[in-house]
Chain A
């Protein structure tokens, strides 16, 4: 079974500063993928970034980067230069199994302060 742990229920960050959202995972699958999604107050799930377990380099997508430490089983999301529009719930998820299903963490509510 797969498990995702997000230990920060809520976080605050000042606008234009960087913030790190923590995610640790547990899986027995040798091959897996890690996703981060953003869920604003409107409710939709927005894909941010993906890291495969065999990827050598940390994934980056614009202001988002994934700090992947395989030995520690962590996949932290780093948001650089925070914007007010980044205020949302952020979910970490692990993809595994033959049908690529996702197991989600409980989420981190990020609030960006002006």
Chain B
């Protein structure tokens, strides 16, 4: 029962580099999400997807790109990492309204 997994779990990268965070879920959930959590704060939505090939911006999408060619995968790419993107990134998924929204273990990203 793998559930929802993220990789890498920990990453240090340099300013200006491209970084991709992977998210994979085994439940065939329609909805997937990317959130970021900054120190001492709640989670903020970056991007979400209601189904394969359907994505939309959340509250803080600038500097990020997503794709969803397969239902089970939802990668998040930082095209040119900046220090302000140092954060913990959480992927989440759900089958729909009224159902539990499950989170991955988080990816700790540091941009130096």
Contacts and interface: CB of A to CB of B under 8 A. Distances in A.
Whether A and B are associated in the same complex: the answer reads: yes
B106 A44 contact: yes
Interface residues of A, number: 24
Describe A's contact surface by its main secondary structure: strand
B3 to A, nearest CB: 11
B41 A44 contact: no
A33 B41 contact: no
A91 B43 contact: yes
B79 interface: no
Given A50-B98, A91-B43, A104-B42, 11 more contacts: A31-B97, A43-B106, A44-B103, A45-B43, A47-B101, A50-B100, A93-B42, A100-B31, A101-B45, A102-B45, A107-B41
Interface of B: 31, 33, 35, 41-45, 48-50, 56, 58, 88, 90, 92, 94, 96-98, 100-103, 105-106, 108
